[in-house]
């Protein structure tokens, strides 16, 4: 079994035309092959390398991580004297990934990383999350290293990044009992000691994924007397320096293999990362964008696993003398799962490519001055990345939940039993629409791109594509969806009422998201009809009905409708 080669869809994203440019920039026009014996000499070799690594990950996930998932779930991590002990199967998974050299995927080679683009990191994370979302968290947190790379000092990079590439685990310690979605209220106290020439942290963090990690990124209040986000700075704390212990591991609904910790900082020695007071407003915002894309990817992995489980069950389970996949009520469900999955992937990888390009231009701008044309391009990639990330995180996590729900439904009574994988997927999926910003907060982050007309403009650009005759009708239907969305935006704006806008934001967000997914899936179907055309037909039909429903709701809405709600 191999979770990469058994899913032909994944390879498709390696073939996207923009990949040539992403890889050339990532590889500095292939200049590193003389310095590092594992650096590619050209695009063809780079892609061959990605393919080989994806195949290796697919094998490790199918042969070890997925079979271990049940044991990871049942045994889970334990707490002993303030330290977290992973389940034995988790240790096996981590050790395997360390030995395979999969802990520094996107770090530069000079720090011991593989220097892979973000898009490839996400393909790997897609596969790992399908095998076990909980292990996906522990492994995926290596992405926090980006923050040290982008904002840390040279000395910090030299000290931490090679360790992380060799397998040191990470955590981002943001949430506190009174600072969840509202991180401006973080209270954990940072004090500078002139005598020791270092910072010390005191206080409590809560709900910290992999909280007993080797290298922590901690958001803390460095400016005494400040009350908002401008008084917060970001710190690096190393486990081996002591001062941090785990007081409790939360007893969660799902992702049992991923310890969620309550941490106590007791005069813990810390290093400032970047500049004071920029902790929340700059670094955590960047960290969270990366983490959101990570959760979107985890959602895709879970949605894939749920579809696979449902399809296999529906093709083997017989009732009334035939396998249940032959009943329209069942194949409608299973077909909808696959359509949502494919459309979501189209959106995920489009987001990933934009995040890649934005990051690469950012890096280039630190090496040399960009030309005016490059600056304009860079700005557009960054804007697309910012606009697409809250869409793919929010909608992706909702789709993971829909697929997990339908997967249990296809299994009938068996799906409610703890014997089947689908039951774990159902519980694991539930967190995706909550952590790293709830779906409601993704709507808040996205709505300005709806009201500014940016999503409309983006969809229009995507619609300017030559399509083969058999997809012309679909293209027309997507254009009609865009028209309905545009009309809905205009109507909401015509109220000139902030509460009404906030109230209807979720519906506008979903209309934009489903239209975007439709048009991006159309792009993939134009490139490979064999793989995507059927999903496209099914997805456009569902998206259309959702958009018509929301359009009807908004066209009947007037602000006085809000009186019907008691608070």
For the annotated catalytic residues, the residue numbers are: 436
Distance CA 472, CA 475 (A): 5
Tell me the closest approach of the beta carbon of residue 57 to other proteins, in angstroms.
9
Is 451 one of the binding residues for other proteins (CB under 8 A)? no
Rounded CA separation 212/238 (Å):
10
Cβ closest to other proteins, residue 62 vs residue 337: 62
CB closer to other proteins out of 14 and 39 = 39
Q: What is the CA radius of gyration of the chain?
A: 24
Which range, of 47-55, 425-433, 470-478, 549-557, touches other proteins by CB under 8 A?
47-55
The answer to whether the beta carbons of residues 302 and 432 sit under 8 Å apart is yes
Q: Does 56 bind other proteins (CB under 8 A)?
A: yes
| Nearest-angstrom CA–CA distance, 541 and 544 | 5
| SS3 label, residue 199 | strand
Applying CB under 8 A, which part among 36-44, 211-219, 267-275, 323-331 lies near other proteins?
Answer: 36-44
Task: Tell which residue, 292, 493, 536, has the closest CA to residue 391.
Answer: 292
Residue 39 or 133: which CB sits closer to other proteins?
A: 39
CA distance 18 to 11: 14
Which of 8, 52, 83, 375 touches other proteins (CB under 8 A)?
52
In the list 33, 185, 323, 438, the residue contacting other proteins (rule: CB under 8 A) is 33
- In the bound state with other proteins, the residue whose beta carbon lies nearer, of 46 and 391, is 46
Q: Are 3 and 69 in contact (CB under 8 A)?
A: no
Stretches 29-37, 183-191, 204-212, 315-323: which one binds other proteins (CB under 8 A)?
29-37
Give the three-state DSSP class for 42: coil
Query: Among the candidate windows 38-46, 178-186, 428-436, 456-464, which touches other proteins by CB under 8 A?
Result: 38-46
- Residue 49 binds to other proteins (criterion: CB under 8 A): yes
Q: Which one of residues 6, 29, 48, 502 is an interface residue with other proteins (CB under 8 A)?
A: 48
CA distance linking residue 46 with residue 54, whole number of Å = 12
Contact residue for other proteins among 4, 23, 27, 40 (CB under 8 A): 40
Q: Which residues contact 382 (CB under 8 A, 6 or more apart)?
A: 358, 361, 362
54 binds other proteins (CB under 8 A): no
Cross-strand pairs, 238: 215
Closer CB to other proteins, 24 or 96, in the complex = 96
Exposure of 324 by Cβ count < 10 A (0-12 exposed, 13-18 middle, 19+ buried)? buried
In the shown chain, the binding pattern of residues 98 to 137 toward other proteins, with x for contact by CB under 8 A and - for none, equals: -xxxx-----------x-----------------------
Closest to other proteins by CB, 40 or 301: 40
Q: How far is the CB of 31 from other proteins (least distance, A)?
A: 14
Stretch that binds other proteins, among 37-45, 128-136, 492-500, 529-537 (CB under 8 A): 37-45
* Shortest reach from residue 375's CB to other proteins, in Å: 34
Least distance between other proteins and beta carbon 355 (Å): 22
- The kind and range of the H/E element at 485 are helix 472-494
State which residue, 96 or 380, has the beta carbon closest to other proteins.
Answer: 96
Cβ at position 481, least distance to other proteins in Å: 42
Strand partners, 272: 235
Cα(400)–Cα(409) distance, rounded to whole angstroms? 14
- Cα 263 to Cα 28, 84, 216: the distances in Å are 41, 11, 11
Determine the interface stretch with other proteins among 33-41, 206-214, 246-254, 557-565 (rule: CB under 8 A).
33-41
Alpha-carbon span 130 to 102, nearest angstrom: 17
* Least CB distance to other proteins at residue 100 (A): 4
CA distance 349 to 527: 14
3-state secondary structure at position 347:
helix
Residue 252 phi, psi dihedral angles, 5° rounding: -100, 170
Integer Cα distance of 521 and 537 in angstroms = 10
Q: Give whichever of 52 and 375 is closer to other proteins, judged by the CB atom.
A: 52
Q: Would you say 51 and 45 are in contact if contact means Cβ atoms under 8 Å apart?
A: no
Q: How far is the CB of 53 from other proteins (least distance, A)?
A: 5
Segment 66 to 105, residues that bind other proteins, using CB under 8 A: 96, 99-102
Shortest distance, position 36 Cβ to other proteins, whole Å = 9
Q: Could you list the residues that contact other proteins (CB under 8 A)?
A: 33-34, 37-41, 44-45, 48-49, 52-53, 56, 60, 96, 99-102, 114
């Amino acid at each position: 079994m191999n979770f990469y080669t058994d899913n032909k869809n994944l390879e498709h994203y390696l073939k996207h035309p923009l990949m040539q440019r992403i890889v050339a920039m990532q590889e500095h026009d292939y200049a590193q092959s003389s310095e590092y014996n594992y650096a590619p000499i050209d695009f063809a070799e780079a892609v061959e390398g990605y393919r080989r690594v994806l195949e290796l990950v697919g094998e490790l996930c199918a042969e070890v991580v997925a079979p271990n998932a049940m044991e990871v779930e049942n045994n889970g991590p334990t707490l002993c004297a303030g330290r977290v002990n992973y389940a034995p199967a988790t240790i096996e998974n981590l050790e395997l990934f360390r030995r395979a050299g999969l802990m520094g995927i996107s770090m530069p080679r000079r720090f011991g990383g593989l220097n892979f683009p973000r898009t490839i990191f996400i393909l790997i994370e897609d596969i790992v999350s399908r095998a076990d979302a909980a292990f996906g968290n522990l492994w995926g947190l290596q992405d926090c290293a980006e923050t040290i790379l982008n904002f840390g000092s040279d000395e910090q990079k030299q000290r931490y990044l090679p360790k992380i590439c060799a397998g040191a685990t990470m955590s981002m310690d943001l949430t506190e009992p009174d600072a969840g979605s509202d991180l401006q209220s973080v209270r954990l106290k940072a004090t500078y000691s002139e005598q020791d020439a270092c910072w010390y942290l005191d206080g409590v963090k809560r709900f910290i994924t992999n909280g007993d990690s080797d290298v922590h990124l901690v958001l803390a209040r460095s400016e005494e007397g400040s009350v908002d986000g401008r008084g917060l700075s970001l710190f690096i704390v190393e486990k081996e320096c002591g001062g941090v212990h785990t007081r409790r591991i939360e007893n969660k609904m799902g992702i049992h293999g991923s310890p969620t910790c309550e941490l106590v900082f007791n005069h813990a020695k810390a290093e400032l990362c970047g500049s004071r007071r920029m902790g929340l407003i700059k670094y955590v915002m960047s960290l969270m964008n990366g983490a959101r894309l990570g959760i979107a990817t985890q959602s895709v992995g879970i949605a894939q696993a749920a579809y696979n489980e449902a399809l296999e069950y529906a093709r083997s389970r017989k009732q009334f003398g035939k396998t249940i996949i032959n009943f329209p009520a069942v194949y409608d469900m299973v077909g909808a799962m696959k359509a949502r999955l494919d459309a979501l992937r189209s959106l995920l990888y489009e987001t990933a490519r934009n995040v890649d390009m934005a990051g690469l231009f950012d890096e280039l701008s630190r090496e040399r001055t960009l030309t005016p044309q490059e600056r304009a391009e860079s700005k557009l990639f960054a804007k697309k990345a910012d606009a697409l990330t809250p869409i793919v995180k929010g909608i992706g996590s909702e789709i993971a939940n829909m697929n997990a729900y339908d997967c249990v439904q296809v299994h009938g009574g068996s799906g409610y039993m703890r014997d089947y994988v689908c039951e774990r997927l159902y519980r694991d999926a539930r967190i995706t629409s909550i952590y790293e910003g709830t779906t409601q907060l993704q709507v808040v982050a996205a709505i300005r791109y709806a009201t500014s007309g940016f999503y409309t403009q983006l969809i229009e650009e995507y619609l300017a594509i030559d399509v083969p005759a058999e997809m012309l009708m679909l293209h027309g239907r997507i254009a009609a969806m865009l028209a309905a969305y545009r009309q809905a935006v205009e109507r909401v704006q015509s109220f000139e009422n902030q509460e009404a806008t906030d109230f209807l934001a979720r519906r506008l967000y979903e209309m934009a998201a489903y239209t975007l997914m439709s048009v991006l899936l159309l792009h993939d179907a134009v490139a490979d009809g064999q793989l995507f055309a059927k999903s496209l037909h099914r997805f456009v039909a569902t998206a259309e009905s959702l958009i018509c429903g929301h359009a009807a709701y908004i066209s009947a809405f007037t602000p006085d409708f809000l009186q019907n709600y008691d608070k």
